């Protein structure tokens, strides 16, 4: 399992809206959206070397008006030793940081 958190100066609603669009471009499937809690449950499909991963993205509003984005990724199957969960986390942040100024 991989997890990372990053802070952004933009409002949580703006970041969450951008993420909803960006994750599809990044190749993730949105399995569930929780608009109230700004949470996305994503997945990757099976590949030659992996059974796929489940990814959770949560956007929190900070007191100063900024946002904190938490991304975690874990294999769909516990025995999936070839899952590259860290790559999924980095990929989401790379796509987001291209859009956030």
- Residue ranges of the domains in the chain? 2-99
Question: In angstroms, rounded to a whole number, what is the distance separating the alpha carbons of residues 98 and 21?
Answer: 13
Q: DSSP 3-state assignment of 25?
A: helix
pLDDT at 15: 97
96: left (phi over 0), alpha (psi -120 to 50) or beta: alpha
pLDDT at 50: 65
Fold entry, domain 2-99: Alpha-D-Glucose-1,6-Bisphosphate; Chain A, domain 4 (3.30.530)
Task: Write the CA distances from 93 to 15, 77, 89, integer angstroms.
Answer: 11, 24, 7
Q: What is the pLDDT along the chain (101 residues), one digit of tens a residue?
A: 889 999 999 999 999 999 999 999 999 999 999 999 999 999 987 666 667 889 999 999 999 999 999 999 988 776 555 556 788 899 999 999 999 86
* Contact between residue 23 and residue 57 where contact means Cβ atoms under 8 Å apart: yes
* Contact between residue 41 and residue 31 where contact means Cβ atoms under 8 Å apart: yes
pLDDT at 44: 87
């Amino acid at each position: 399992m991989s997890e990372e958190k990053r802070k952004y100066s933009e409002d949580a609603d703006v970041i969450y809206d951008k993420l909803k669009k960006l994750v599809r471009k990044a190749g993730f499937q949105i399995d569930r959206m929780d608009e109230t809690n700004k949470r996305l449950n994503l997945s990757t499909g099976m590949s030659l070397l992996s059974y796929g991963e489940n990814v959770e993205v949560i956007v929190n509003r900070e007191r100063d008006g900024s946002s904190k984005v938490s991304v975690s990724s874990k294999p769909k199957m516990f025995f999936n030793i070839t899952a590259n969960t860290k790559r999924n986390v980095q990929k989401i942040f790379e796509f987001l940081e291209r859009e956030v100024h």
